[in-house]
Amino acid sequence: MFEVRCAGLYLTAVVVLAAGSASAAGIDLSKPYGNKSGCINKNGQKVYAEDMLLLTDTDFITATSACAFTGKHGEADGSLTVKAECEAEGEEGKSPATFTIKHSAKNAKKLVIADEDGSVYGEVSRCR
């Protein structure tokens, strides 16, 4: 009887460790990511740049739009699907959008952001 319980506990520990490893391989947005101008603006607008990209755990901001995340879902391939409500410069109201965030094929430390049609916004690095 004791051996069965130990085996069950061991199996539980292996499952928990495996789940922890899977989430560690996912996308961690606890610190902001951006391109050069995005990271400069991570604490508020300091410079204007048409190429600005800033990604946080709650928002995706470009020079012409601001998207607030309404939901996130980790995918089996390690990417992150994000639902958002976006406001675009010069337009009234908000529009729904879906983004895919994944690790860059060229550099695993960078993230690539694409819209639901697969159009890539760009690559971002963790801001310092």
pLDDT along the chain (128 residues), means of 10: 38 33 64 95 82 95 94 94 95 95 94 95 95
pTM confidence score: 0.76
Question: Could you give the 3-state DSSP secondary structure of residue 80?
Answer: strand
Q: How many CB atoms lie within 10 A of CB 39?
A: 19
Burial class (CB in 10 A: 0-12, 13-18, 19+), 125: middle
Task: Look at residue 16 in the predicted model and tell me its pLDDT.
Answer: 33
Residue type at position 103: H
* Exposure on the CB side of residue 73, measured as CA atoms within 13 A: 8
Task: Look at residue 43 in the predicted model and tell me its pLDDT.
Answer: 85
Question: Could you give the 3-state DSSP secondary structure of residue 13?
Answer: helix
- CA geometry: angle at 89 spanning 83 and 94, to 5°? 40
Taking every pair of Cα atoms in the chain, the longest distance, rounded to a whole number of angstroms, is 70
Do 56 and 43 form a contact (C-beta atoms < 8 A)?
A: no
Question: Could you give the 3-state DSSP secondary structure of residue 42?
Answer: coil
Task: Look at residue 4 in the predicted model and tell me its pLDDT.
Answer: 40
